[in-house]
Amino acid sequence: MEQRPPAGLGAVSDPLARSAAEAVNSRDRERWFGLFADGATFSDDGVEQDLGRWCDEELFGRHTAYIVSVDKVEDGGRTFYARYHSDKWGDFKTFWRFAVRDGKVSRLEVGATSY
């Protein structure tokens, strides 16, 4: 099932971060991974993870997951805070922090948060 872009996405001024949110919500695995540099690093709640394995399980696996709304944006649009839905984990608030190098995402940090 294809989801719409999250409410408030227009506030995300960084094109890679915005495209990443759109890819999550449309479950477009190819588009998502195309945004990342080779060897990109990743952490979830401060724990280093394998980016590909985590994404295939949490974003593009058998459980539906999507960003409901972007509620707060920082760092020139490279960090956003959002309400998130996961069939696996429920509804909660998250942060998504993108580091960019040479036009590709070199690091992604996500996690549960409150704001």
Q: pLDDT tens digit string along 2-54?
A: 568 899 999 999 999 999 999 999 999 999 999 999 999 999 999 999 999 99
pTM to 2 decimals? 0.93
- The CA distances from residue 65 to 37, 74, 83, in Å, are 23, 23, 11
pLDDT at 88: 92
Q: Are strands 90-101 and 79-86 parallel, antiparallel or unpaired?
A: antiparallel
Select from 43, 55, 45, 47 the least CA-distant residue to 106: 43
Task: Look at the domain 9-112 and name its fold.
Answer: Nuclear Transport Factor 2; Chain: A, (3.10.450)
SS3 category, 73: strand
* Residue 115: band (very low, low, confident or very high) from pLDDT cuts 50, 70, 90: confident
CA distance 16 to 32: 10
Which residues contact residue 72 at a Cβ distance below 8 angstroms, ignoring those fewer than 6 apart? 80, 81, 115
CA distance 77 to 53: 26
pLDDT at 19: 97
